[in-house]
Amino acid sequence: MIRLGNVLVSPGEGGVYGERTLDGYRVWDPYRSKLAALYTLGGGIELTPDMRALYLGAANGTTVSHVADYVETVYAVEFAPRPMQDLLEVARRRRNIVPIMADANRPEEYAPFMEAVDLLYQDVAQPNQVEIAERNLVFLKPGGHLILMLKTRSVDVRRDPAEVLAEARTGLEKRLDIADVRWLDPYHHDHAAIVCSRRE
């Protein structure tokens, strides 16, 4: 990852969402992007130019645009029409983003477009986040990585976030090796990042 001083940045055409630029690089704000928070906190998987990524919960394409600056191809899945309009505009300017309007719960909807990816990144506000990740593992290469941004409040607002995280870990451990788990405080509250790798 590229850092200027201790500021996380990404290379690429700026002006996607009014982000600041620094020496021609785009500043990647940890308060806005959970993935940026994870890297700022010292975790995450190094993004490399030969990587292909599947991004679930692409929303307005803010974080997607930064990921696209680093990797070869991003498959960006989003199913709400409003943010999809913005995502299409981002994809129009970045030729390595493939925007897919589909429900991450139903991978069969977008399977005909998918190749195997090195990175599966998931940031969806759904109660069954672990289940969604499991369903999408079919697209992940053996040895590839899953970064799951667990929104504990979306799973169940009434339960203790730590408890929700523990349950998610048990669920993921069945098919994946967990490499790193951390909370995203102080940037995002009640959000945990779980980094796993798929067994060979």
Q: Annotated binding site for S-adenosyl-L-methionine, which residues?
A: 62-63, 78-79, 103-104, 123-126
- Taking the least distance from each CB to other proteins, the nearer of 38 and 74 is 74
Q: What is the DSSP secondary structure assignment for residue 107, as one 8-state letter?
A: G
The least distance separating other proteins from the CB of residue 139, rounded to whole angstroms, comes to 6
The least distance separating other proteins from the CB of residue 133, rounded to whole angstroms, comes to 14
Angstrom CA distances, 98 to 64, 103, 177, stand at 10, 15, 28
The least distance separating other proteins from the CB of residue 53, rounded to whole angstroms, comes to 13
Contact residues toward other proteins (CB under 8 A) are 73, 81, 84-85, 88, 91-92, 95-101, 107-108, 111-116, 135, 138-139, 157-158
Closest by Cα among 147, 112, 144 to 133? 147
- Taking the least distance from each CB to other proteins, the nearer of 22 and 138 is 138
CA distance 37 to 31: 7
- Taking the least distance from each CB to other proteins, the nearer of 117 and 195 is 117
